[in-house]
Structure 1
Amino acid sequence: MQSQTEDGLIVGLRNSTGKIEIEVLYGAPGAGKSIALRDEALGVPGLYLFCLPTIPLIKEQADKFRALGQGVLVIEARSGEGGGRGRVQRQLDDARADIATAGITHAILFMTHESMMACDLSGFVDWHIRIDEVPNAVQTGKVTIGTRESQSFFRNSFTLDPVGDGWAHAKLNNAQANWKDRAGDALLARLGDFFKLAARPQGAYVNVQSWTNVKEFQWVSLWSPALLEHTASVKIAAAAYLDSLGYKAAKKWWADEIEETKTEIGDPRLSWPTIRVHYFTEGHEGTSKFWGTSEGRKMIKAVCDYLGEHVADIGFWSGNEEVRNLMEWRVGGVLTRPKVAGSNEYRHLQSCAFIYSSKPLPGDEALRGPLFEMSEADILAAREDEDIHQFVMRGIIRNETYDGDYDCYVYSKRQAEALATKLEAIAKSVVVIPVEEAGIVDETIEKPKGEQKPKKAKPLVLGAKGKKMINPRSAERRLQRQNAKKR
């Protein structure tokens, strides 16, 4: 049931049936979901906490709010150089306290998705939360550890609270301390993400319930709007939220508690563009690891050669880091970040290229297991396919009055077909076209004969006082050599 304040006012998201109510604003990219949130916040007095994907987008939107909402207090809580979670938390707490002390009843406070998931928002009881675009609510990983000393380290660093069949909630002890103190240690560097996510208010989940005799464990960090049940209201404006991993995971764990209402935003388009989706290969799928090899670089060279010669006036482009490093200065147009959700910076450009991969990772085994029961197709669609769709929709086809041509280039046929299916809703026609001239349409990836099996990840081994220990096998061989010399 809804909770009450000392004055008897009803607060919180739970309705009369005990369900946590959230509202999802959906519609095609560019339909006006963000504008709907802005119009409400400026037109209906109240305290609003806006959560956006990036700092540049916060700057852009905060300026628009100030220009349109004269007299409405607009504050940006964000980190800068040398900042971080602690700095944003202080800004949030100070802003909330100042607003309460001054008796201000209409204010808008901006923060990033990352800060929304990392900071303590328990004090924002009477605030309306507005989340623009899909947050990266689910992250996964796998950790290999090696000795009793390592197990002791984890036992001292994390408290485990069993939550289900073989799983536990791992909370970082003394999470208020800077997690970078531990994650920044050279020996623990590869645990940085796990430390950071475990330090969040919601912690992380691991598939062990005790550190005794643990050699390897999987972890999952999950944020859900259910964690905001104490606030006045929550609205999420995102075309793909209902298909996101965060939504699927939250529904799996909080299915009996969450009740979402869906509101479609945007009138039908006034004009319909003609879209051509070009792809370079149907013989294999690209990955960051593959593009980092000699054979992978050869494929990217073919992409660069084609774009440079035939599409010199490409509008904007991006890709994985390996791809950007190889394509920069060889391809025209504007180089952007891979994830530009919410941005309107490129909506005048008539073509784009996105050579990108975000395949399921080893740590995603937890999502495919009995805990969440997601398929590999679910993960691929929510990550790679949606990232590509969001990128392509930043161009001129975002304008509902545009009825001209639009060309977009992706790496594989599978990506092109998935993208075409998504674009059919806003186009007069969508055509998928192989780029035969690049010469890699039928190229396949074959493992060389005699290829060695991939090496297993080295276990994390900690000795006394956190010092790195010598591998036991190496120590044994060293002793054998020393004994041989004595003979």
Structure 2
Amino acid sequence: MTKMKVTVLTGPQGSGKSTVMRQEAIAQPGLYLFASPTHELIDEQAEAFKREAPKLDLWPLHSKRGGKGKVAERLAVARDKLIADGARHAVILTTHETMMGSDLSAFAGWHARIDEAPAAVQAGSFNISEMRTALKERFDLHSKPGHDWASLRLKGNKPSWKKLQKSLGAKELVEFYKQAANPARVFVRTPDWDATDDIDWFSIWSPLELAGFGSVQIAGSGYTSSVGYLGAKALFEDLLEFDERKVPVVRSGQPSISIHYYTDSHRGSTTFWGTSVGRLQIKHVCDHLSTTLPKASFWSGNTVVQNLMEHRLKGDLIKASAAGLNKHRKRRHCAIIFSGKATKADKGMMDVFSLDKDHIERGREDELIRQFVMRGAIRNPAFGGAYDIYVYEKVQADRLKGHFEDLLFANVELVPVTEAGLMKVRRKSDGPTEQEKAAIKADRNKKAADRQRAKRAADARASGREVGKPGNPKLRKANIP
């Protein structure tokens, strides 16, 4: 069986991968579908296309642009019109979400260009005891003998997500239904709906869903470390072939990068920040950033962090996943207080893909932080000034420093923010520090030694021997001349 070939444009953030895809699409006539993570990035690409190829037939489509109605429906209309008109060179731009949620079989022969790694994998678990009948009526299960996981196929038409939200309530269950509407997109850990009450599930979008396209390219510096890529390799290695093509960057300027961090004694998480103790730590971070970040800065974090910081910091709050944007490349200060560590919901997916917590954290947390901080002035290869970054913890700072050194940034400094007051704060779940472990071990050894001395003293007294004097007292008497 011939494998489907997917070209992956790799290289540092800011190396021009998006530009390469755009310029090649301009130079090589054909019908192209471009997919980007946000409508802002679509608008940036659309403006660049207009400047570089003003006569090109261009269709930017997202929720805020391109007409009325659902974006997926407008996507089909644009495709049909271009085909009916006999177009030979045209570009449709839309979002990752629209691409992954649409039936693209009618795009056979087109060229797919995906900007940045899509959020291709989701996972969760829920109890189906109260909805078993509804699941049976709506989905068929397809499993293979000896396999723990079965794929789903929707019976009938896609449901209304707004109605589902009202009837189901739970956000993760609505997302399950939404993903399961796509054939072979969702997998559940059960051979049939009657086998268990508690269901683990995961959904994965893979490039195989673009198999009818004439060519497929994905541009993303972190795509080959993303959970979506690792999952696709694990499940479909016999069907997919990834061909990496590096886009280098040549720097003419060397900035001085300072990575500030707030703690080296615990790890951040949304669960922790949702507690009273965790909110106190974010307050300390917020108090410091409110006096440190200038107005010409940008910042973000998890939703729980944004809720605590919004309207208290200067600068612009932007989406944490602001991949690919160029609009902030004159700014010299940014802060990203973010956690993307593995959760219980990821367990089933991790088992299937043979991933550990470190894979998830690096693919989810590290990559987002890297993408975010590269939105600023250091995205410009000619920039040689000072650039300040604020992250929550030292582990993140260390990994980010290593990433910058791999990109051949020569001047990178780690700066602990001791004045914020959470440098040595410990979480109960973190357990003792190495120093505390050593002290506990020393205390344990001392108590064991004390017990041995007490036992030897008791034995000496019982045998009529002077405490602290070795030997058998009877033998000592026998040797007296």
TM-score for both structures, normalised by structure 2: 0.85
Measure how far apart 1:43 and its partner are: 1.5
Name the stretch that deviates more: 389-398 or 414-423.
Answer: 414-423
- Relative to structure 1, the CA distance from residue 307 to residue 46 in structure 2 (aligned partners, 3 Å threshold; closer, same or farther) is same
Give the residue type in structure 2 aligned to 1:110.
L
- Asked if the contact 1:47–1:106 (Cα under 8 Å) also holds between the matched residues in 2, the reply is yes
Give the residue type in structure 1 aligned to 2:424.
D
Corresponding residue number in structure 2 for 1:43: 27
Name the stretch that deviates more: 281-290 or 123-132.
Answer: 281-290
C-alpha deviations, 1:394-451, integer Å up to 9, x for none? 0100000112221101001111111111111141122222111111100011269xxx
Measure how far apart 1:35 and its partner are: 0.5
Equivalent position to 1:87, from 70, 84, 105: 70
Corresponding residue number in structure 2 for 1:428: 410
Name the stretch that deviates more: 386-395 or 173-182.
Answer: 173-182
Give the residue type in structure 2 aligned to 1:48.
Y
Q: SS of the residue aligned with 1:40?
A: helix
Distance 1:202 1:87 in 2: 23
Corresponding residue number in structure 1 for 2:117: 134
Say how many residue pairs are matched. 427
Corresponding residue number in structure 2 for 1:408: 389
Equivalent position to 2:363, from 373, 379, 382: 382
- Relative to structure 1, the CA distance from residue 239 to residue 447 in structure 2 (aligned partners, 3 Å threshold; closer, same or farther) is closer
Measure how far apart 1:202 and its partner are: 3.8
- Relative to structure 1, the CA distance from residue 391 to residue 43 in structure 2 (aligned partners, 3 Å threshold; closer, same or farther) is same
Corresponding residue number in structure 2 for 1:368: 350
Distance 2:362 2:193 in 1: 34
Distance 1:182 1:331 in 2: 37
Distance 2:373 2:170 in 1: 38
Distance 2:293 2:171 in 1: 42
Q: 1:98-247 alignment to 2 at 5 Å?
A: 98-146=81-129, 150-163=131-144, 165-187=147-169, 190-247=172-229
- Asked if the contact 2:152–2:183 (Cα under 8 Å) also holds between the matched residues in 1, the reply is no
Q: Is the aligned partner of 1:77 residue 2:58?
A: no
Name the stretch that deviates more: 66-75 or 373-382.
Answer: 66-75
Measure how far apart 1:80 and its partner are: 4.5
- Relative to structure 1, the CA distance from residue 190 to residue 266 in structure 2 (aligned partners, 3 Å threshold; closer, same or farther) is closer
- Asked if the contact 2:32–2:91 (Cα under 8 Å) also holds between the matched residues in 1, the reply is yes
Query: Which structure 1 segments of 5+ residues have no match?
Result: 2-17, 449-487
C-alpha deviations, 1:340-389, integer Å up to 9, x for none? 001111110111111111121211111221x2100110000000111111
Q: RMSD between aligned alpha carbons?
A: 2.0
- Asked if the contact 1:347–1:398 (Cα under 8 Å) also holds between the matched residues in 2, the reply is yes
Q: 1:433-452 alignment to 2 at 5 Å?
A: 433-446=415-428
Give the residue type in structure 1 aligned to 2:376.
G
Give the residue type in structure 2 aligned to 1:242.
T
Measure how far apart 1:335 and its partner are: 1.5
Distance 2:23 2:64 in 1: 28
Give the residue type in structure 1 aligned to 2:334.
C
Give the residue type in structure 1 aligned to 2:155.
N
Distance 1:314 1:304 in 2: 17
Distance 1:188 1:386 in 2: 28
Distance 1:312 1:305 in 2: 14
Measure how far apart 1:190 and its partner are: 4.7
Distance 1:428 1:188 in 2: 48
Q: SS of the residue aligned with 2:46?
A: helix
Corresponding residue number in structure 1 for 2:49: 65
Corresponding residue number in structure 2 for 1:454: none
Equivalent position to 2:335, from 335, 353, 358: 353
Measure how far apart 1:312 and its partner are: 4.3
Q: SS of the residue aligned with 2:428?
A: coil
Q: Is the aligned partner of 1:318 residue 2:300?
A: yes
- Asked if the contact 1:280–1:303 (Cα under 8 Å) also holds between the matched residues in 2, the reply is yes
Q: Is the aligned partner of 1:33 residue 2:17?
A: yes
Distance 1:359 1:21 in 2: 31
Corresponding residue number in structure 2 for 1:478: none
- Identical amino acids, percent of aligned pairs: 39
- Relative to structure 1, the CA distance from residue 289 to residue 267 in structure 2 (aligned partners, 3 Å threshold; closer, same or farther) is closer
Q: SS of the residue aligned with 1:170?
A: strand
Corresponding residue number in structure 1 for 2:251: 269
Measure how far apart 1:292 and its partner are: 2.1
- Asked if the contact 1:74–1:109 (Cα under 8 Å) also holds between the matched residues in 2, the reply is yes
Distance 1:308 1:75 in 2: 41
Distance 1:59 1:310 in 2: 32
- Relative to structure 1, the CA distance from residue 189 to residue 443 in structure 2 (aligned partners, 3 Å threshold; closer, same or farther) is closer
- Relative to structure 1, the CA distance from residue 190 to residue 230 in structure 2 (aligned partners, 3 Å threshold; closer, same or farther) is closer
Distance 1:188 1:304 in 2: 31
Give the residue type in structure 2 aligned to 1:266.
P
- Asked if the contact 1:28–1:426 (Cα under 8 Å) also holds between the matched residues in 2, the reply is no
Measure how far apart 1:23 and its partner are: 0.7
Corresponding residue number in structure 2 for 1:475: none
- Asked if the contact 2:11–2:248 (Cα under 8 Å) also holds between the matched residues in 1, the reply is yes
Give the residue type in structure 2 aligned to 1:380.
E
Equivalent position to 2:267, from 262, 285, 306: 285
- Relative to structure 1, the CA distance from residue 175 to residue 311 in structure 2 (aligned partners, 3 Å threshold; closer, same or farther) is same
Corresponding residue number in structure 1 for 2:399: 418
Measure how far apart 1:61 and its partner are: 1.4
Distance 2:218 2:172 in 1: 33
- Asked if the contact 1:54–1:112 (Cα under 8 Å) also holds between the matched residues in 2, the reply is yes
Measure how far apart 1:310 and its partner are: 3.8
- Asked if the contact 1:37–1:130 (Cα under 8 Å) also holds between the matched residues in 2, the reply is yes
